[in-house]
Amino acid sequence: MQDGADWEKWPTYDAAELGFRDHWYPTVWAHQVGAKPVPVTVCGEKVVLVRDGDTVHGLHDRCPHRGVPLSLGRRQFPGTISCPYHGWTYDLTDGKLCAVITDGPDSPISGRVSVATYPVVERMGLLFVWIGTLAEGEEPPPVERDIPAELTDNAFVLGGRTEVRDGNWRFAAENGFDEGHAKYLHNTALWRLFKVMPTWNVTRIVEQDGWLVRVQDEVHWEAEFPGVGSFTNKRWWKRMPLPDRPGRNGDANPVIAGLDLPGFVSIRLPGILRVAYPQFVHYEWYVPVDADHVRYVQLMVRFETGAKALAFKAKYLAAIRWLFHGQFTAQDAWMVDVMDSPPERLYRPDLSLTAWRRHVEQAGLVLQPTAPRRGH
């Protein structure tokens, strides 16, 4: 199995430069979309997010007339957006051209052209956009399908970041689930003052509830390499055991214990990583932007309400946001940006990568085509 990469091929995965259709993807925070329209790119599709009261609409960010981005447009009439070039004006609900300012009220083209619209919903303060194919009048599946179940079934408090980073989404996903780097690359992260990691593990990957879970059967805090020297991830502060069975820890949060996870790190489609500590869970979404960019959405979640939730929020803003969601994951961004792969020569811990690729390969997903999609 560890040498699987020598013979295995992942043609679907290799072709998934822009990810997969028929999924909901998180984008920006809802509060970031105000009076001004906000352009985002998801799976290579340019979308403009436009707020109209409490509702945020998603339209293809390209005027069919001459291709000017509608995100540069004007909000001149209620419920519409007008292209800044010649004033073609589109209804936000269905994308129909409803007035053509520079061609008079009887413009023959009015009502005959429309821009594609995108379903948008808000969850956890984030705007999720549906990228997929829908028949006339068809509704997309509920967004909850593409959100970890524990986040839809429980009360929690969260802190998070959403930003576009360099690198393809698959490199970012692989980095997230990559076992070896956590113990070497992040050896220098300040976050490690609080969370200590082993030097090497004996690992296997199991599938549970749609997630691939990395199970650590053996944990080695230090090792002697013959003729080279010794390496340890131990520190002068109290050594903390890895919560590789969060459910078994006496002090684990009940929601996290209830997940009964056999391992610390897990990943699922369409590209969501979960790192479960006994008291909180870190999630990250790898949303395809274009071939060379990924939207990296990090959420730190604590399943608490009331005073404990407020205390966490303060701790997040004061420290976690900078230590973990900043310096620590910036190390990941650095590697995703500088790596040059393929070709590649995998090693034993890379069974996490091959398991993930195999999982994606076999999931029967609809590839997002790499040629730019046009509105209609």
Residue 96 binds to ligand FES (criterion: CB under 6 A): no
Residue 204 site contact among Fe ion, ligand FES, none (CB < 5 to 8 Å, cut-off depends on kind): none
Residue 85 site contact among Fe ion, ligand FES, none (CB < 5 to 8 Å, cut-off depends on kind): ligand FES
Scanning 59-67, 90-98, 143-151, 236-244 for contacts with ligand FES by CB under 6 A, the matching segment is 59-67
Residue 332 site contact among ligand FES, Fe ion, none (CB < 5 to 8 Å, cut-off depends on kind): Fe ion
Choosing from 61, 174, 304, 332, the residue that interacts with Fe ion (CB under 5 A) is 332
Scanning 49-57, 216-224, 261-269, 324-332 for contacts with Fe ion by CB under 5 A, the matching segment is 324-332
Scanning 13-21, 85-93, 169-177, 303-311 for contacts with ligand FES by CB under 6 A, the matching segment is 85-93
Residue 68 binds to ligand FES (criterion: CB under 6 A): yes
Residue 297 binds to ligand FES (criterion: CB under 6 A): no
Residue 66 site contact among Fe ion, ligand FES, none (CB < 5 to 8 Å, cut-off depends on kind): ligand FES
Packed helices 169-177 and 351-361: angle between N→C axes, nearest 10 degrees: 130
Q: At closest approach, how far in Å is the CB of 167 from Fe ion?
A: 13
How far is it, in rounded angstroms, from Cα 270 to Cα 173?
A: 10
Q: At closest approach, how far in Å is the CB of 46 from ligand FES?
A: 14
Q: At closest approach, how far in Å is the CB of 310 from ligand FES?
A: 48
Q: Which CB sits closer to ligand FES, 36 or 145?
A: 36
Size of the site for Fe ion (CB under 5 A): 1
Chain residues binding Fe ion by CB under 5 A are: 332
Chain residues binding ligand FES by CB under 6 A are: 63, 65-66, 68, 83, 85-86, 88
